[in-house]
Structure 1
Amino acid sequence: MKKALRVAAVGATLALSGLSLVACSSGSGGGNPAAQSGNDTGPITYVQGKDTSGNIPKLAAMWNADHPKEKVTVKQQSDNADQQLQDLTQHLQQKLSDYDVMSTDVVWTAQLAAKGWLQPLTGNYKLDLSGYLPSVVKSGQYVGTQYAAPSVTDSQLLYYRKDLLGSNPVPTTFAEMMKLCPIAKKAGIDCYAGQFAKYEGLTVNFNEVVTSNGGTVVDDKGKPTLDTPQAEAGLQELVDAFKDGNIPKAAVSYQEQQGLNSFEQGKLMFLNNWPYMVADIANSAQAKDIRSKYGIAGYPGKSAVGGHNLAINAYSKHKKTALDFIKFMESADVQKNRVEKESVAPTLSSLYSDTSFTDQYPYLVPLKKSLDSAVARPITPYYNGVTQAIQNNIFQALQTASTGGSVDVKSVLSATSKAIEAASSGS
């Protein structure tokens, strides 16, 4: 296998902040006068999480060489998502202009936009995003307004043992996958795992089974929508899989690494995980026995969108330069450069159909399939509380199911809805 993307798993980095971000605006910039000012050009600062590749300063140098009067300074935050959000919040709530362009996690859009801290990408700031992945474009929206532009993306993939699957088609739904579990049991290994520990990964996996069955977790206004047959069917799939052992009992405590270890050690037939795993399999000693025996496919349903977008600080004094820098960062040449140098997934649709490019990174093909049907996690200014509500209630249900206990999915979803409502009301 040729050079592989090493995309950091969203679930591993989304240690979400406990900050309470209360909505105080509609979706039009909140009437924030700062959103209508700062149209000048000049030096800017770009802020993002720690760049372990060392590539971002090189891209900034490229920009600076062509824009001597509009130079960009790169400010690197820590590698902790919680601390990154806290840093942005501290600057923005003081209405500081020192962060002009910000790299924002896809789940932060609503939280930051609702406070009036992001410049709406409308009017003079409108970008042509028609050539970018629709699911990723949507991740930068809040109540119908675009606040952030696609930068790098991520979505989960299905890793499977092609030697065991044989002539059977790769499953495209959770139900199809479960029907193949007897093959795993005959081989003396476990069938399926994802991320089911009580952390952000559980929110991702729960969101996937609900949306894959045609349901949603919240509506466009952030109200819970779990009182539906579709949501019940999604949770029931996980509960049944734990009860009958198709998901091993131990997997109720799995984060990304535990599932990766199990798959690489030949103990799993199917695994739902992020693209970074491709590089790990290629280089890990424990994966040597399965390295030639596995395949990759799109998630069997609707995966969750991960990644980061680029947003302009509503208080920036040099928004015109900030907008131009975003256009630079989103260009095809820069996106190709970042795939090669940083091992991140691009957001420009055309790169996924460029065979000369995908031949170098073959898993971009199944990744595109996942991204085509991917959906956002709950879009709400109260995301921190909402994800905690999901984790607390769904984890308890799966833990009970893993030990053979009885689980009433309607009651679990009702309790989850009430917890989401409480989180959204600030109580």
Structure 2
Amino acid sequence: MRWGRVACWLSAAALLLTGCGLHTVPAASAGTDGTGPVTLVTGQDLTGYLRGRLQVWNAAHPSQRATLIQLPAASDDVRAQMISNLQAKSDRYDVLNLDVVWTAEFAANGWITPLDARQYPLEKFLKPVVSTAMYRGQLYAVPYVTNAGMLYYRKDVLDRAHAAPPRTWADLERLATTVAPGYGLKGYAGQFLPYEGLTVNYAEAVQSAGGEILSDHATRAAVDSPAARRALDFLVDGVRKGWIPQEALTFDEEGSRKAFEDGRYLFLRNWPYVYDLAESKDSKIAGKFAVAPLPGPDGPGSSSLGGSDLAVSSYSRHQKTARALIQFLTSLGNERQVLLKGSLPPVWAQLYTDPALVRRFPYLPVLRQSILSAQPRPETPDYDQVSLAVAEALHDALTLTRSPDETAARLTNELNAIVGNP
């Protein structure tokens, strides 16, 4: 999965596919523990590192060769093609590289097999990432890469203004309102286009305030709680007061990244992939920025967990080999290469304090802190529909089309209908 971009989830085909199934967990169709050639299906490998890792596996396992199947880069297309294959009970896919928000849906429909947690070094991973691979207390996948949002800021500007990076929402508003204009900059950019990115930005604000989108094991809407209302008011007020510019309501990950790299914004919320790009020769802010944890109402906030997990198809004929391939791909040595060759955040905790890696990737300490305080998005087989409802309602609120009161009431009704709580 591309960890740098959370691609748009609004594909009609994907939405239709989400509704299939009764959210029960049937027994695996193949039910085999065989060995032999396997496939690894994933979204487009933009860095090309995965082929090299599979070559290492194939050299050691000539009779159990792994073949890479790359689907389109867009997340909605990847999910739709995976589901189509699994609904047909095809054995073409053995190991699936799943976005972390898909685990519940794929497990609930019986498309992926339960795994024995004792076969994987989960205790060595950053603790929050393990929850993304669980469904109803059972391990259904193994964390492979992780991700968390960070606050990028113009260090040169804050240094000249004798200001520290913001720790609270009040700090962020004050600096975006007072310091940014003094240096010809706009205030704050996030991902506010109506797609999954907006759901993530809203979820981060809600959980930073101590709330949640769904409560009672994702069976009831919680967006009208005082904490959730505080988060909504914070975002809407930012637009109304102008330190979140109207332009930012059109940004996805790439749009906001380019605006920050062009030297137009004081602050940016985005994923770690931005760091190396912002330091490149094409960036106008190379050497002028730094990162900090996302701010919250009363101190550092909480990011949404991103990344991907590896799962075994219920219809694989070679499930023993599939599990062994997952063990290889999530091993310490391979996870180091995930970072070095793929520039993707690994799940092994000790890699974030490795001196050589920190020198190469200076954002690792902040990213570690952000991951440890991050939370997964709602664990529900209906996540795709939940995300769509949240993004549409929040965009109406941010464009000042609907009031916060109207938005909270509308979203409460829609989410309760989606999760079966009318």
5+ residue gaps in structure 1?
1-6, 402-406
> What does residue range 234-245 of structure 1 map to in structure 2 within 5 Å?
234-245=231-242
Counterpart in 1 of 2:183? Answer: 187
Asked if 1:165 corresponds to 2:158, the answer is yes
Counterpart in 2 of 1:364? Answer: 364
* Matches of 2:120 and 2:271, distance apart in 1: 29
Counterpart in 2 of 1:148? Answer: 141
* Matches of 2:121 and 2:100, distance apart in 1: 19
Asked if 1:46 corresponds to 2:40, the answer is yes
* Matches of 2:263 and 2:93, distance apart in 1: 47
User: Judging changes above 3 Å, is the alpha-carbon distance between structure 1 residues 392 and 52 closer, same or farther for their aligned structure 2 residues?
Assistant: closer
Counterpart in 1 of 2:267? Answer: 270
Q: Is contact 1:151–1:310 with CA below 8 Å preserved after alignment?
A: yes
Q: Is contact 2:110–2:314 with CA below 8 Å preserved after alignment?
A: yes
Report the AA paired with residue 65 of structure 1.
Answer: A
Q: Is contact 2:236–2:398 with CA below 8 Å preserved after alignment?
A: yes
Instruction: Quote how far apart the aligned CAs of 1:281 are.
Output: 1.5
* Matches of 1:199 and 1:279, distance apart in 2: 25
Instruction: Quote how far apart the aligned CAs of 1:298 are.
Output: 2.0
5+ residue gaps in structure 2?
296-300
Q: Is contact 2:146–2:347 with CA below 8 Å preserved after alignment?
A: yes
* Matches of 1:374 and 1:174, distance apart in 2: 17
Counterpart in 2 of 1:424? Answer: 419
1:375-412 CA distances to partner (integer Å, 9 max, x unpaired)? 122221112211111111110010017xxxxx642331
Q: Is contact 1:149–1:310 with CA below 8 Å preserved after alignment?
A: yes
Question: Under a length normalisation based on structure 1, what TM-score does the superposition of the two structures give?
Answer: 0.90
Q: Is contact 2:33–2:320 with CA below 8 Å preserved after alignment?
A: yes
Q: Is contact 1:21–1:111 with CA below 8 Å preserved after alignment?
A: no
User: Judging changes above 3 Å, is the alpha-carbon distance between structure 1 residues 122 and 223 closer, same or farther for their aligned structure 2 residues?
Assistant: farther
Instruction: Quote how far apart the aligned CAs of 1:212 are.
Output: 0.4
* Matches of 2:350 and 2:21, distance apart in 1: 36
Counterpart in 2 of 1:398? Answer: 398
* Matches of 1:172 and 1:299, distance apart in 2: 7
Return the match for 1:64 from 58, 66, 71: 58
Asked if 1:413 corresponds to 2:411, the answer is no
User: Judging changes above 3 Å, is the alpha-carbon distance between structure 1 residues 223 and 143 closer, same or farther for their aligned structure 2 residues?
Assistant: farther
Counterpart in 2 of 1:199? Answer: 195
* Matches of 1:355 and 1:394, distance apart in 2: 41
Report the AA paired with residue 230 of structure 1.
Answer: A
Return the match for 1:295 from 290, 294, 297: 290
User: Judging changes above 3 Å, is the alpha-carbon distance between structure 1 residues 97 and 354 closer, same or farther for their aligned structure 2 residues?
Assistant: same
Report the AA paired with residue 140 of structure 1.
Answer: A
Aligned-residue sequence identity (percent) comes to 35
> What does residue range 71-220 of structure 1 map to in structure 2 within 5 Å?
71-122=65-116, 126-166=119-159, 167-181=162-176, 182-219=178-215, 220=217
User: Judging changes above 3 Å, is the alpha-carbon distance between structure 1 residues 262 and 374 closer, same or farther for their aligned structure 2 residues?
Assistant: same
Instruction: Quote how far apart the aligned CAs of 1:23 are.
Output: 5.3
Q: Identify which range, 261-270 or 307-316, moves more after superposition.
A: 261-270
Instruction: Quote how far apart the aligned CAs of 1:8 are.
Output: 4.4
* Matches of 1:51 and 1:163, distance apart in 2: 35
Return the match for 2:27 from 26, 32, 56: 32
* Matches of 1:21 and 1:148, distance apart in 2: 22
CA RMSD of superposed structures (Å) = 2.1
* Matches of 2:249 and 2:50, distance apart in 1: 37
Report the AA paired with residue 184 of structure 2.
Answer: G
Instruction: Quote how far apart the aligned CAs of 1:51 are.
Output: 1.8
Equivalent position SS for 1:183:
helix
1:54-80 CA distances to partner (integer Å, 9 max, x unpaired)? 322222121122122222222222222
Question: Under a length normalisation based on structure 2, what TM-score does the superposition of the two structures give?
Answer: 0.91
Report the AA paired with residue 32 of structure 1.
Answer: A
Q: Is contact 2:218–2:378 with CA below 8 Å preserved after alignment?
A: no
* Matches of 2:214 and 2:318, distance apart in 1: 36
Q: Is contact 2:8–2:195 with CA below 8 Å preserved after alignment?
A: no
* Matches of 2:51 and 2:221, distance apart in 1: 42
Report how many residues are paired: 409
Instruction: Quote how far apart the aligned CAs of 1:33 are.
Output: 4.4
Q: Is contact 1:9–1:274 with CA below 8 Å preserved after alignment?
A: yes
Return the match for 2:279 from 274, 279, 282: 282
Asked if 1:373 corresponds to 2:369, the answer is no
Instruction: Quote how far apart the aligned CAs of 1:126 are.
Output: 4.7
Q: Is contact 2:7–2:75 with CA below 8 Å preserved after alignment?
A: no
* Matches of 2:305 and 2:273, distance apart in 1: 15
Counterpart in 2 of 1:404? Answer: none
User: Judging changes above 3 Å, is the alpha-carbon distance between structure 1 residues 253 and 271 closer, same or farther for their aligned structure 2 residues?
Assistant: same
Counterpart in 1 of 2:244? Answer: 247
Q: Is contact 1:304–1:377 with CA below 8 Å preserved after alignment?
A: yes
Counterpart in 1 of 2:325? Answer: 325
* Matches of 2:417 and 2:168, distance apart in 1: 33
* Matches of 2:286 and 2:149, distance apart in 1: 19
Q: Identify which range, 247-256 or 49-58, moves more after superposition.
A: 49-58
Instruction: Quote how far apart the aligned CAs of 1:34 are.
Output: 3.5
Return the match for 1:228 from 222, 225, 241: 225
Q: Identify which range, 232-241 or 40-49, moves more after superposition.
A: 40-49
* Matches of 1:294 and 1:254, distance apart in 2: 20
Report the AA paired with residue 35 of structure 2.
Answer: T
Counterpart in 2 of 1:4? Answer: none
Report the AA paired with residue 264 of structure 1.
Answer: E
* Matches of 1:372 and 1:201, distance apart in 2: 20
* Matches of 2:421 and 2:232, distance apart in 1: 26
1:192-218 CA distances to partner (integer Å, 9 max, x unpaired)? 111111111110101110010000001
Equivalent position SS for 1:130:
helix
Equivalent position SS for 1:196:
coil
Instruction: Quote how far apart the aligned CAs of 1:104 are.
Output: 0.5
Return the match for 2:5 from 7, 10, 15: 10
* Matches of 1:97 and 1:175, distance apart in 2: 53
